[in-house]
């Protein structure tokens, strides 16, 4: 095969891969379809930089092609040196200032957007949520209402919500591509920015900083509800008393096992007494658990019996972690799945 044909074929394969992979994103896990204020700002910057870079590319490629064609050595023509422009002050000024201007066109709006998103001077007038990142899960605390959740972050639509980010161990990064850019969660200083969702829905969040073997499983969800649904959810969460829960006999046994094995030392239910492990108050309403598993009894049993097999390097199996029999794990799973403090679930957001 001729070499140009081989090259053409390689190009065609690569090109089709590019088209194929471009369709891989989920609608609620892409910065390309902004559904919130921060993501919209990012999109504007992406468009601006793409326009600037395309302009540079077009100018350079046009000049290159023109030069290649016009100044080609013709047959029988003598080799001659072009006019030398070395030391031309005018040219030096032109090709130094053009890149500076282009960089400024991109940098000024970018820096302004960064400062704007991190400006928390009006945070007292809005909702504030303390977010703590842990290897490999997320803790959300609604200070004013004294409620806490893990993994599923509930917020109302169309409202500015301030996120105050901290880490309990290593550096993580909070990223909900459809709603906002990334922000690091550091162990020592709180980073703050706000998110604002334009539409109700379930948005996928990711940890965007390599933080250990299960970094890629450190997923979470943002559940964006209507104002009424959110208020309902908040009231239900606030008034939930796990002791009043009507459980069937299996779940009741599960609760006893939960208590006997001191699970509540790390996992709070119905309050915010500990945040060593994920808060399980609304576990039965969760979209996923362990970041990526469907909350079914089978998966839960697998998790309770051998968390390491499900999510490498997670901190659940501390030195005092009990060896559960399958039957015990099933009972505990049954109990956890019946923890449904509210009728407002992620389904309300995706309706």
147 or 290: CB nearest ligand CUA:
290
- For residue 8, which phi and psi values (nearest 5 degrees)? -60, -40
129 or 349: CB nearest ligand CUA:
129
**Cβ 209 to ligand CUA shortest distance, Å:** 5
207 or 251: CB nearest ligand CUA:
207
Intra-chain end-to-end CA distance of the chain, in Å: 56
**Cβ 188 to ligand CUA shortest distance, Å:** 16
Q: Which residues bind ligand CUA (CB under 6 A)?
A: 133, 136, 172, 207, 209-211, 215, 218
**Cβ 256 to ligand CUA shortest distance, Å:** 34
Residue for token pair 């690091």: 184
175 or 240: CB nearest ligand CUA:
175
Q: Long-range CB contacts (< 8 A, 24+ apart) of 307-316?
A: 311/136, 311/214, 311/217, 312/213, 312/214, 313/135, 313/136, 313/212, 313/213, 313/214, 314/135, 314/136, 314/214, 314/290, 315/134, 315/135, 315/277, 316/277
Task: Residue 252: count other Cβ atoms within 10 Å of its Cβ.
Answer: 16
**Cβ 134 to ligand CUA shortest distance, Å:** 8
**Cβ 216 to ligand CUA shortest distance, Å:** 8
Which helix (H) or strand (E) segment is 224 a member of? strand 220-225
221 or 331: CB nearest ligand CUA:
221
């Amino acid at each position: 095969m001729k070499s140009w044909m081989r090259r053409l074929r390689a190009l065609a394969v690569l090109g089709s891969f590019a088209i194929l992979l471009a369709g891989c994103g989920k609608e609620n896990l892409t910065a390309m379809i902004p559904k919130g204020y921060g993501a919209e700002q990012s999109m504007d910057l992406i468009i601006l930089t793409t326009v600037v870079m395309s302009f540079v590319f077009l100018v350079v490629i046009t000049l290159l092609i023109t030069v290649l064609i016009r100044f080609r050595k013709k047959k029988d023509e003598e080799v001659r040196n072009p006019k030398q422009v070395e030391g031309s002050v005018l040219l030096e000024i032109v090709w130094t200032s053009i890149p500076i201007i282009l960089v400024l066109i991109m940098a000024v709006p970018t820096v302004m957007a960064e400062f704007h998103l991190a400006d928390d001077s009006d945070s007292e007038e809005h909702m504030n949520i303390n977010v703590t990142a842990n290897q490999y899960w997320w803790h959300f605390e609604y200070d004013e209402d004294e409620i806490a959740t893990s993994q599923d972050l509930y917020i109302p639509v169309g409202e500015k919500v301030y996120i105050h980010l901290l880490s309990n161990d290593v550096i993580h990064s909070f990223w909900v591509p459809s709603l906002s850019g990334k922000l690091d969660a550091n162990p020592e200083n709180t980073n703050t920015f706000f998110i604002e969702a334009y539409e109700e829905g379930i948005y996928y969040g990711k940890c965007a900083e390599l933080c250990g073997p299960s970094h890629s499983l450190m997923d979470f969800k943002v559940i964006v509800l209507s104002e009424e649904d959110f208020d309902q959810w908040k009231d239900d969460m606030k008034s939930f008393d796990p002791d009043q829960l009507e459980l069937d006999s299996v779940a009741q046994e599960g609760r006893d096992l939960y208590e006997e094995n001191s699970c509540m030392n790390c996992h709070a239910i119905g309050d915010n007494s500990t945040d060593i492990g994920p808060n399980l108050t609304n576990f039965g309403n969760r979209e996923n658990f362990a970041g990526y598993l469907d909350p079914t009894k089978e998966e839960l049993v697998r998790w309770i019996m051998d968390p390491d097999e499900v999510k490498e390097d997670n901190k659940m199996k501390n030195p005092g972690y009990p060896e559960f029999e399958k039957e015990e794990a099933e009972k505990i799973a049954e109990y956890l799945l019946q923890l449904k403090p509210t009728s407002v679930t992620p389904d309300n957001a995706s309706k």
